[in-house]
Amino acid sequence: MKREKPYPASFKPSLTDSTHVGDSMDATTLHLDNLPSPTPQGANLLDDGSGATFKTWAPAAREVRLRWDYRQNSAGDWHHQQEARLQKLDGGHWGGFVSGLEAGERYMFYVVGPEGGTEGIKR
């Protein structure tokens, strides 16, 4: 089992969710609503407050997942409660939209590399 870093990246502006993934860890695929072109890398809160877009560059990845809703347990370890797949875009980018998250929500990208490659949390 891979151990996550103790402190997930914290997004300063804010996030929100248009595709609520629910309480399961079934890795639902995020949709591309509200993902204009061009969209900056990372997490981007929309001006209308409807949510946030996520975009990252991972040209060799087979899959990229967004993890959020991190909580710290009594032992001090951080664990995510929500996870969803980003969609593959042009030029090695991956993206998606999440609604309903608030400022300061912690998130990370989990990248599955090429066959025989590495996988893990990326910031």
What's residue 59's pLDDT? 95
E-only strand ranges, the chain? 28-29, 42-45, 52-57, 63-72, 78-85, 87-88, 93-98, 107-112, 119-122
Residue 123: pLDDT band by 50, 70, 90 thresholds? low
Domains and CATH numbers, the chain: 28-122 (2.60.40.10)
Q: How many percent of the chain have pLDDT more than 90?
A: 30
Candidate ranges 28-37, 47-56, 105-114; pick with highest mean pLDDT: 105-114
For CA atoms 2, 94, 67, 85, the dihedral sign is: negative
Enter the pTM of the model. 0.72
- How far from 105 is each of 66, 67, 102, 112, CA to CA, in Å? 12, 11, 6, 23
